[in-house]
Amino acid sequence: MSFSELGREFALGLGAALFGANLWVLLRPVVARPRDGRAVPRPTSTRKVVRNMIIGAGVAGWALIAWLRT
């Protein structure tokens, strides 16, 4: 396994993690039930969450395309 292949796989994992974590932050108030009766808070800035999702999807997409081309 070469360093370039390892770097592409790392970028794919990092991008997918960034996308998935921000998707969970966005969906958590809908999915999670409050334990003590209080509502689960929404993210303070939805624009930042969506921006990070786009960055994560872009990095993961680039890494996946680069990985599949080799």
Q: Model confidence over 40-52: pLDDT tens digits?
A: 788 889 999 999 9
Write out the DSSP string of 12-68: HHHHHHHHHHHHHHHHHHHHSPPSSSSPPPPPS-HHHHHHHHHHHHHHHHHHHHHHH
Q: Could you tell me the pLDDT band of residue 68, with boundaries at 50, 70 and 90? A: very high
Provide the pLDDT confidence category of residue 10 given band limits of 50, 70 and 90: very high
Contact 48, 25 (CB under 8 A): no
Residue spans of beta strands (DSSP E) within the chain:
none
Which positions ≥6 away from 49 have C-beta within 8 Å?
A: 22, 25, 26, 43
